[in-house]
Chains A and B, each alone.
Chain A
Amino acid sequence: MNADAAALRARARRTQWALLAPYSLWSVLFIVVPLVFVAYYAFTDNAFAFTTEHFVRFFTATSSTDSGEVRTYLLIFGRSLKLAVISTVICLLLGYPLAYIMSRAKPRAQKIMMTLIMIPMWMNFLIRTYAWMTILQDTGILNGFLSLLGLGRVHIIGTEGAVVIGMVYDYLPYMVLPIYSILAKLDVRLIEAARDLGCNGVSVLRRVIWPLSLPGVLSGITMVLIPSVSTFYISQKLGSGKFFLIGDAIEGQYVANNLHFAAAMAFILMVVLLVCMALMKYLTNRQVNGGAKA
């Protein structure tokens, strides 16, 4: 080996280092270290001495609202998970057929529908959620419309149903887009082959299209579930009161400047979500591989 080649390789290594160093430094400083701070705050008190009191508080504290309803943090966390799962299922049930219809439409129609899905995403979600509030209110537009038709009024605002409507509305595009992008690229010959081999419409969907679209479904589920489980604005406007979902609880503690307790709840949320994601990945991997074997 001559000295020239060695010098060249040394220079290449230096370039590589110069390219990667800013980003690596940035991600350690502003992604990894902040997460360490969440754990640090979660396990310390205001004087930064070790404590588990925040976790004890999370699992035991109770508070009652004006209406006499008893709320514990566990109950709130459970409700967050429940509403997020319901919203995700509804998004999947609405989003998958829509993505399928879009992927089978003419190119021009596909483009128009894509644009129509993107437009709401680009508008500020706070204003859109607020507009839903004026629609769903007891004296709102929906009830005005219903009484105009001679039908009775409905009470939606402040219920779990209203929060689910808000979540489905805000996050439905995040379900449609990843599924659509997979279905649009799906090889049509696979479907034709399945039909040639005697599959009917339903079994083509169940045994060919659905398994192939699973990666899109998975990322759609992730993109709906995570923001729904942690939202606080939707529940503030469409749910009742400030202490409704885990996101509200965290935001409330932040506003009250109880940073350590807020960090503890963020820590619990993060751990639960990590476990959920790992489980989901494991299950889909198994399903995909199992499908291939069968």
Chain B
Amino acid sequence: MKTASRVFTTLIFLFLFAPIVILLIFSFNASKSLSVFSGFSLKWYGELLNDQVTLSSVRNTLLLAVSAMVISTVMGTAASVGIDRLRRRWLRATLNTVTDIPMTNPDIITGISLMLMFVFAGRLMGFSQSLSFWTMLIAHVTFCLPYVILQVLPKLRQMDPALPEAAQDLGCTPLRAFFKVTIPEIMPGILTGAIMAFTMSLDDFVISYFTSGAGFQTLPIRIYNMTKKTVTPKMYALATIIFFVILALLIISSFTDRDDTKKKKLYRRQPD
């Protein structure tokens, strides 16, 4: 049984990593081919660094992801606090249902629906080009918001409501109590939500595809346009760099995680 499960797990991970290993190898290919390896070379990395269109799409992606993350985190946190305090059950249920829509709807429908509205509104206002950076930003904030709320709301539920009240009894204004007590208490949820929003925005292709204009290209859209023609190992070089950046981030975050658990243990050891 033990060996069987080990073999099974190994096979699945082989399946998951097969294309990644292949693109890592072929990014160093001396020739143009993606299936015959003819020798080691770094020339595709050199070509990538000289590809201004791709580099600017990386900058665009980061700009969009940071903006979407900041807006959705602030608005989502405020909304979570509001939802948490809601007494009227039907209003809360309605808000929760609406929040679920972008997460359960297929991306293609979210993208098409926003695009239709932007095109319609653009025509009303007489724009010749209705899709731009701004329409993409709106789309990204829209699909990031549910992830932020999903992370922050449970933290608010877990929080002892007596804490901010105690702060107010001790002379804090409600606003000060919110920033001094509530925010630090729900910070882990806010951070996870922000990171999720950032990565969702970074990785999104389908919704961006329908809401982007000709002038603003993100990395996934650039990759899509590259794969429409014959692809050279240059794209694999790009993927390899992305792979190592992710690997580095994961290793760093696993170290900080360990620090966190240590800290928690320290806190617990202290007498009340």
Q: Do A and B bind each other?
A: yes
- Residue A119 lies at the interface, judged by CB distance under 8 Å to chain B: yes
Contact with B along A275-292 (1 / 0, CB 8 A): 001000000000000000
- Residue A123 lies at the interface, judged by CB distance under 8 Å to chain B: yes
Residues of A within 8 A of B254 (CB): 111, 115
Number of interface residues of A (CB under 8 A): 74
Which residues of A (1-53) have their CB < 8 Å from a CB of B? Answer: 11-12, 15-16, 19-20, 22-24, 26-28, 30-35, 37-38, 40-41
- Residue A137 lies at the interface, judged by CB distance under 8 Å to chain B: yes
Contact with A along B101-139 (1 / 0, CB 8 A): 110111111101111110110000000000000000011
CB–CB B19/A113 < 8 A = no
Which residues of B (16-68) have their CB < 8 Å from a CB of A? Answer: 16-20, 22-23, 26, 34-36
- Residue B220 lies at the interface, judged by CB distance under 8 Å to chain A: yes
CB–CB A254/B101 < 8 A = no
Among A61-69, A188-196, A223-231, the one that faces the other chain is A223-231
User: Can you show 15 pairs from A to B with CB atoms below 8 A apart?
Assistant: A20-B79, A20-B82, A23-B82, A27-B98, A38-B109, A38-B113, A40-B116, A122-B199, A124-B223, A130-B227, A172-B16, A232-B108, A250-B108, A254-B115, A259-B119
Which residues of A (144-178) have their CB < 8 Å from a CB of B? Answer: 144, 169, 172-173
Top 3 closest pairs, chain A to chain B, by CB: A23-B79, A19-B82, A34-B113
Query: A176's closest neighbor in chain B, by CB?
Result: B12
CB–CB A222/B109 < 8 A = no
- List residues of A whose CB falls within 8 A of some B CB: 11-12, 15-16, 19-20, 22-24, 26-28, 30-35, 37-38, 40-41, 94, 97-98, 101, 111, 113, 115-120, 122-128, 130-132, 134-135, 137, 139-141, 144, 169, 172-173, 222, 226-227, 229-230, 232-233, 237, 247, 250-251, 254, 259, 262-263, 266, 269-270, 273, 277
For B113, B174, B210, the residue with the greatest tally of chain A CB atoms inside 10 Å of its CB is B113
Number of interface residues of B (CB under 8 A): 73
CB–CB A26/B75 < 8 A = yes
Residues of B within 8 A of A31 (CB): 98, 101-102, 142
CB–CB B75/A22 < 8 A = yes
Residues of B within 8 A of A115 (CB): 250, 254
A to B contact number (C-beta, < 8 Å): 199
Query: A259's closest neighbor in chain B, by CB?
Result: B116
Report how far A37 CA is from B223 CA in the complex, Å: 30
Residues of B within 8 A of A227 (CB): 106-107
Report how far A172 CA is from B113 CA in the complex, Å: 27
| With known contacts A126-B205, A169-B16, A266–B142 Cβ distance under 8 A | no
Query: B76's closest neighbor in chain A, by CB?
Result: A23
Report how far A250 CA is from B205 CA in the complex, Å: 16
Residues of A within 8 A of B75 (CB): 22-23, 26
Residues of A within 8 A of B117 (CB): 30, 33-34, 37
CB–CB A19/B246 < 8 A = no
- Residue B95 lies at the interface, judged by CB distance under 8 Å to chain A: yes
CB–CB A98/B116 < 8 A = no
| With known contacts A120-B17, A130-B235, A135–B22 Cβ distance under 8 A | yes
| With known contacts A31-B102, A35-B101, A98-B9, A119–B250 Cβ distance under 8 A | yes
Report how far A75 CA is from B103 CA in the complex, Å: 27
CB–CB A139/B35 < 8 A = yes
Report how far A111 CA is from B255 CA in the complex, Å: 12
Query: A168's closest neighbor in chain B, by CB?
Result: B15
